Amino acid sequence: MDPQLLHYYEAIERASADMLAAARAGHWDRVVKLEGACVLLISRLKQASEQPAAAGDRQASLDAARSKSRLMQRILVNDAEIRQLAEPWLATLDDALAGRRRTLH
């Protein structure tokens, strides 16, 4: 794996961790901004991954693949928690956009 690709995965993981911290704090505007940064990083990752990879050391490739796997797992865990935290906020937003008021029973 090209080291540049691993850097993109690391940047995406950092952004997802920042998104999670913002979601935990209830800073949804920041979450949305960071999500935009993730979209850009993912786009750049896709472009970079389309470039032919240089042949390299087999052990280095295995280490990079393991690192990529760990980063992807953290990204997915962060994403799952962000989604869980966002559910009540999104429900409130949907109600507000539909003109409904939430009531407590």
Domain with 37 in it: 3-98
* Tokens coding 34: 């960071």
Nearest to 19 by CA among 90, 87, 80: 80
Nearest to 68 by CA among 2, 9, 11: 9
What is the model's pLDDT at position 87?
85
Residue 15, domain member (yes or no): yes
Residue 82, domain member (yes or no): yes
Residue 23, domain member (yes or no): yes
Residue 52, domain member (yes or no): yes
| Burial zone of 73 (CB within 10 Å; 0-12 exposed, 13-18 middle, 19+ buried) | exposed
What is the model's pLDDT at position 103?
58
What is the model's pLDDT at position 72?
96
pLDDT in tens, the chain (105 residues): 677 899 999 999 999 999 999 999 999 999 999 999 999 999 999 999 888 766 667 877 888 889 999 999 999 999 999 999 988 877 777 777 887 665 554
Residue 103, domain member (yes or no): no
Q: How many domains does the chain have?
A: 1
What is the model's pLDDT at position 63?
87
Nearest to 10 by CA among 90, 92, 54, 68: 68
pTM over 0.85: no
